[in-house]
Amino acid sequence: MKDNMIKLLMTMIIGLSFIIGCWILSKSVENIDVSEEDTQEIGLNEEKALMSETEAANYLNIPLDDLKRMVVKSEAIRTQRGSYDTFEYVPFMIIEGKKYFDRLQLDKWIEYNMLHGRGTDLYSLYR
């Protein structure tokens, strides 16, 4: 009987400690001020998941016609090859006939070409 009382008392103490700890944490989280710069740093800004061709060209800081030419040419080359590296060609997807680009995939494409295309002018590859 005495053991049961001790177990009950210990359970109540642990439960009460848990509740008080949660309350303390919730109060400390309420006081955190997150700036816009902080949210961008950790990826919480509300950017669109996909970019249009125009947005992708602006993101890459190239003319829209050049991006379109690069996509057409890279697709022509890619379809002729049996195997290729994922980021060797401009990454995009087609939804209802329109091309869309993912920012992270474009970043990986840039990184791939920076590492594997040293000294190669990307524009010359796609002209």
Please compute, for residue 125, the number of CA atoms within 13 A of its CA located in the half-sphere on the CB side.
18
Helical residues (DSSP H) of the chain, grouped into ranges: 2-30, 36-41, 53-60, 64-80, 103-116, 122-125
Residue 69 has pLDDT above 80, yes or no: yes
Residue 96 has pLDDT above 70, yes or no: yes
Residue 85 tokens, joined: 């590296």
pLDDT band at 35 (very low <50, low <70, confident <90, very high): low
Give the pLDDT score at 39.
54
Domain boundaries, the chain: 2-39, 53-125
Rounded CA-CA distance 126/72 in Å is 8
What integer is the mean pLDDT of 71-94?
Answer: 83
